Chain A
Amino acid sequence: MSGLRSAFAESVTSVVRHPMRTLLCALGTVVAVGAFTTTNGLTESASGAVSASFNELRATTVEFQGPSTLSDADVARLARLHGVTRAGLVWDIDQQQPLPVAVGPTASGPTQTQLPVTAMSPSALAAVGAVLSSGRFYDTGADLHHQMVVLLGSGAASQLGISSSLGNPAINVSGIVLTVVGIVSSTQQESQSLLGMIVPPYVADVIAGNHDPRRVIARTAPGAAQLIGRQGPAELDPYQPSQVTAEVPPNPTTQRAQVQASLSTLLSVLSFAGLGIGFLSIAAVTIMSVAQRRSEIGLRRAVGYGRLEIARLIVLEAAGVGMLGGIVGASIGVLATSAIASNNHWTPVMNTTLVLAAPFLGVAVGVLAGSYPAIRAARITPMAALRS
């Protein structure tokens, strides 16, 4: 036991008294353990960030596309499904081809331009998460009473020079006079509608005459999107449910697992490559060191060090260097992870067990890498070493 303690003390002295050799030897382990810790930390942090980036709205929105015209009655059946909070019809008029628009009741008003028109049922406005900057939304009553109303997207309002719906300004769309009841400042879905006009179904019918809604946007309770995506087609078209396509958000759990799996693979590859570099670095520097220390080894053998003691000394030195490299590497890894995570606005997440185990990983690499040079050192005969 005292022999081991003495060898340990000697190896510590050797590591401390030869800073350049220690630095060169430890460099590989620093890189290896640093890469290992960093990749692991980034995996954990990125996984957390992936979860956070799953926008709640995106995760709770399902979009259906029917093979033929869908009606309010179809949407009402869908809305009755447990888990659906809002649903509405959305369709583009003339495939988003812009229509001539003029400010004022006549087509020759002061400001003339062309704007796309999106039709949305009143419930669809809530489903897409529309937010007003001015005025009010149109409702089911307005549609039933054939009110000629329109909502302007903020981009369109700006283009037309209308900053507020106060006083209900009129616009002329393809010769039809519409009353602006509100200005939509943002939507969480269908954001392209902000560049044009949003009209209720009746107005869409009057303007374009092609009332052919086939798209339904549904908002669901958190976690229900996948289920609604499966059940919805049968509600919208009970006769041909397979013809209804449902675009559901990716399952966060599955996606997170996929991201983690791919990052874990990356981690494994980088870690093993790094550890390999560390292993080779320690082995190479230790072999060189043994060659340079032949006379020292010869002297030790002459004064009574056995082969085992020489080998133990070399292995302990390599283990010490590995531990040092592990500590420095893990520290660099933690700092690098924090810096990268912070730069990407992620919450840094580290596996503390792994960070604490890193020095021991360095020791393991050191012991393995130092074994071969140690065997070579133990084979050196004192006479040959002293003669050299």
Chain B
Amino acid sequence: MSAAPEPSQQDVLTLTGVGRMYPGSPPVHALRDATFSVGAGEVLGIIGRSGSGKSTLLNVLGLLDLPTSGDYRVDGERVGSLSDHEQTALRARCFGFVFQQSFLLPSLSAQENVELGLRPRRVGTSERRERAIDALVQVGLSHRRRFLPGEMSGGECQRVAIARALAQRPRVLLCDEPTGNLDERTSSEVLQTLIDNQAPDVSVVIVTHDMRIARTLPRLLSVRDGAVSEGAGEFLAAETLGGGQP
């Protein structure tokens, strides 16, 4: 992926030669020369074996980690020149996250967990409540809104996490192995929830090692030893690529 993409007005994320190196002896190049873009409303899958660098790529995309080389732009804004505070604001404005673990706060109800994502956006109390309930309706859990995470199943918790991300109304939804901890049936339900509730202008990036899921996605990027390439490549015939964590 050496050819730099032409930034289009439709592109939300644009990466040009982006790399992430972790210092050490020897240094680890978790991501090398990644060059691609993600358009508005596009659904994209990132596949790769365990430790290939796909989660690092997702973290860089979501501003949870910063590239050590290359140029990364979100909505045309160069990320490298932003302060920590500006990056946080950009992250809050543009990205929603669904992780392999739901990361629900155990002392908060489902609705309060969904509202948590709206607090840094300075959304008023009543609007926050409305949006949280709407998001829970979208994922089919409005009847469980007062339940604590400990009172719900793993699949339900993950759907609450999706609702938390949806309620934020992000430009880009980043999902890191969102079904990694779930059984096959629940996985397909959760994935369906994710795809069904995607607003037309929201981009979705899903990191997965499950080729059954990957094959359902319209566009795939494969990561191998930190190098990103377009398409499923050698993984096309595989069932699963093993391991969820890099």
B103 touches A304 (CB 8 A): no
* Residues of B contacting A382 in the complex (Cβ-Cβ under 8 angstroms): 64
B59 touches A383 (CB 8 A): yes
Residue-wise interface mask of B (88-110) relative to A, using a CB-CB cutoff of 8 A (1 in contact, 0 not): 11011100110101010101100
Contacts of A293-340 to chain B: CB distance below 8 A: 295-296, 298-309
What separation, in Å, do the CA atoms of A296 and B108 have in the docked complex? Answer: 12
Interface membership of A14, Cβ < 8 A: yes
Given contacts A2-B122, A17-B108, contact A302 B64 (CB under 8 A): yes
Given contacts A10-B119, A296-B105, contact A306 B85 (CB under 8 A): yes
* Residues of A contacting B168 in the complex (Cβ-Cβ under 8 angstroms): 303-304
> Chain B: which residue is nearest A296 at the CB level?
B105
* Residues of B contacting A6 in the complex (Cβ-Cβ under 8 angstroms): 119, 122
Interface membership of A18, Cβ < 8 A: yes
Binding site for B on A (CB under 8 A): 2-3, 6, 10, 13-14, 17-18, 295-296, 298-309, 381-383, 386
B99 touches A386 (CB 8 A): yes
B119 touches A301 (CB 8 A): no
Residue-wise interface mask of B (116-127) relative to A, using a CB-CB cutoff of 8 A (1 in contact, 0 not): 110111101000
Q: How far does the Cβ of B29 sit from chain A's closest Cβ, in whole Å?
A: 17
Given contacts A13-B108, A17-B108, A299-B103, contact A2 B120 (CB under 8 A): no
B116 touches A300 (CB 8 A): yes
* Residues of B contacting A301 in the complex (Cβ-Cβ under 8 angstroms): 64, 88
Binding site for A on B (CB under 8 A): 59, 62, 64-65, 84-85, 88-89, 91-93, 96-97, 99, 101, 103, 105, 107-108, 112, 116-117, 119-122, 124, 164, 168
A383 touches B65 (CB 8 A): yes
The dominant DSSP class at the A interface is: helix
Query: Which of B101, B112, B120, B168 is the most central at the interface, judged by chain A CB atoms within 10 Å of its CB?
Result: B120
B91 touches A304 (CB 8 A): yes
Contact among A295, A298, A304 with B120 in the assembled complex (CB-CB below 8 Å): A304
> Chain A: which residue is nearest B99 at the CB level?
A386
Q: How far does the Cβ of A133 sit from chain B's closest Cβ, in whole Å?
A: 76
What separation, in Å, do the CA atoms of A27 and B154 have in the docked complex? Answer: 36
B92 touches A303 (CB 8 A): yes
25 A-B residue pairs with CB within 8 Å = A6-B119, A10-B119, A13-B112, A17-B107, A17-B108, A295-B101, A295-B103, A298-B103, A299-B103, A300-B120, A302-B62, A303-B96, A303-B117, A304-B89, A304-B92, A304-B117, A304-B121, A304-B168, A305-B119, A306-B120, A307-B85, A307-B88, A383-B64, A383-B65, A386-B103
